[in-house]
Amino acid sequence: MYLSPPDVGRLEETYLVRALRSGWVAPLGPEVDAFEREVADRVGVAHAVAVSSGTAALHLALLALGAGPGQVVVVPTLTFVATANAVVYTGAEPVFVDCDPATGNIDVALLADLLHRLRVAGQRVAAVIPVDMFGACADYDEILPVCAAARVPVLADAAESLGSTYRGRQAGSFGRIAALSFNGNKIITTSGGGMLVSDDAGLIAQSRYLATQARQPVPHYEHQDVGYNYRLSNLLAALGRAQLSRLDEMLARRRELRERYAKLFAAVPGVRLLGDPREDGPGAAGVRIAPDTAGSRGSNCWLTTIVVDPEQAGWRAGELGEHLAAEDIETRPVWKPMHLQPIFSQSRAVLTGAAQRLFDEGLTLPSGSALDETQTARVFHTIEQFLAQR
Ligand SMILES: Cc1ncc(COP(=O)(O)O)c(C=O)c1O
């Protein structure tokens, strides 16, 4: 049983076959145009460009923002490697920042301090990339003014957060530009794909140009820049449109799972859900799974993650992971922080130890909207069995 398997069925099949029969079996076409329009509308921005992956989206956005050698891009250390790799592709240097232990999102006080020190040192910062960790939006109310004061553009890595809200606005609508992912494990999938969304027509046009081999608008093939083959195929865009039409249904299912996990772990000492702080302190029954009300954050509940304090709980997150693995149920540790990755061991990083603690103490649980009742009952039964043995 997988953590977040693709949730596809008859509707996706219908959309795909229709696109295939239309004859548009190409990296461009009407399904791509419609998918871009529909995602932009859902996110609440004016422009979008569909691409072959979330990683490609990040790469293009950085290029469009002018990132390159001699410049710095600030990245949370707690993220999937694609965020940092996209920076390296441009020749810029990623500098890592630790996270808020409650949410796993970038620590804004550290970010502000780092931006100040980089300015004093005369370093050019091409962008800051906040990541909406496991679906929950970063603290944009604090991040955006800090970056605006430092005159640094924000590229939001919203790969995991389509459908989430923050202060009533959709994930993907924050910063100068945002990257979405439609990878197979994401909330909606095109099997592989991504999108850039923004109100900035120029940034999207530049990204579209670079994603299409930087071809000049003349009849023959004319190139003044190095481009990329990063467009999303028309067939996969059709799959994405079917998925997008089901997004609310899929969000509801993930939220329901999150609430069940919250109930299960509410009475377990030393366990909390990442990003969902307990209202009444550790061990109390009140766990807040906030739908978005003014002033709060509405997570798409992409992946539900528990954080286990081994002293209080008397067991480690990894032990529960092993118990579930023995029953063929997939779990994952929280992302291994970038500053602990061999490829980034020499990189600069501003650290408090929070990301490393989440890596040590976190466990991501099966959260996919495709998991049926029998499967979820088995997951919950297996967890209860584990807890009963402690
Ligand atoms: C935070 C984050 N950024 C970027 C990516 C890259 O997206 P993709 O796999 O579509 O390239 C992912 C997921 O895979 C991700 O989780």
CA of 21 to the centre of ligand 1 (A): 31
Cα 57 to middle of ligand 1, angstroms: 9
CA distance linking residue 158 with residue 251, whole number of Å: 16
Within 6 A (CB) of ligand 1 lie 53-55, 79-80, 82-83, 131, 157, 159-160, 181, 183, 194
Please state the atom number of ligand 1 nearest to the C-alpha of residue 183. 10
CA of 54 to the centre of ligand 1 (A): 5
Q: Which residues of 313-352 are buried (b: 16+ CB within 10 A; e: fewer)?
A: bebebbebbebbeeeebbbebbbebbbbeeebeebebbbe
Tokens 């067939």 label which residue? Answer: 235
Cα gap 367→26, rounded to integer Å: 33
d(CA 133, CA 130): 9
Q: What per-residue confidence (pLDDT) applies to 287? A: 42
Tell me the H-state helices in 101-154: 108-120, 140-149
**Nearest atom within ligand 1 for CA of residue 193:** 10
| pTM of the full structure | 0.95
CA atoms within 13 A on the CB side of 202: 4
Structure tokens at 62: 């950085």
Ligand 1 geometric centre to CA of 380 (Å): 28
- pLDDT tens per residue across all 390 residues of the chain: 999 999 999 999 999 999 999 999 988 899 999 999 999 999 999 999 999 999 999 999 999 999 999 999 999 999 999 999 999 999 999 999 999 999 999 999 999 999 999 999 999 999 999 999 999 999 999 999 999 999 999 999 999 999 999 999 999 999 999 999 999 999 999 999 999 999 999 999 999 999 999 999 999 999 999 999 999 999 999 999 999 999 999 999 999 999 999 999 999 999 999 986 433 333 333 344 444 444 456 899 999 999 999 999 999 999 999 999 999 999 999 999 999 999 999 999 999 999 999 999 999 999 999 999 999 999 999 999 999 998
Are the C-beta atoms of 233 and 241 separated by less than 8 Å? no
The pLDDT of residue 246 is 97
Burial of residue 11 (number of CB atoms within 10 Å: 0-12, 13-18, 19+): middle
d(CA 198, CA 180): 11
Atom number of ligand 1 nearest to Cα 133: 1
Q: What is the pLDDT of residue 296?
A: 54
Taking the C-alpha atoms of residue 214 and residue 63, their distance in angstroms, rounded to an integer, is 12
CA 269 distance to own-chain centroid: 29
Burial of 57 (C-beta count, 10 Å sphere; 0-12/13-18/19+): buried
Measured in whole angstroms, the distance separating CA 301 from the mean position of its chain's CA atoms is 11
User: Ligand 1 center to residue 158 CA distance, Å?
Assistant: 9
137, 160, 188: which to mutate for ligand 1, most atoms within 8 A of CB?
Answer: 160
Ligand 1 atom closest to Cα of 192?
10
Pocket test for ligand 1, best of 52, 78, 181 (most atoms within 8 A of CB): 181
Question: Ligand 1: distance of its center to the CA of 180 in Å?
Answer: 8
Task: Specify the DSSP class assigned to residue 70.
Answer: T
Between the CA of 221 and the centroid of ligand 1 the distance, in Å, is 32
Q: How many angstroms is it from 82 CA to the middle of ligand 1?
A: 6
Of the residues 183, 243, 300, which should be mutated to test ligand 1's pocket, given the most ligand atoms within 8 Å of the CB? 183
Atom of ligand 1 nearest to the CA of 132: 1
Report d(CA 152, CA 147) in Å as an integer: 5
User: Of all atoms in ligand 1, which is nearest to the CA of residue 56?
Assistant: 11
Query: pLDDT value at position 278?
Result: 38
- The Cα–Cα gap between 39 and 46 comes to 10
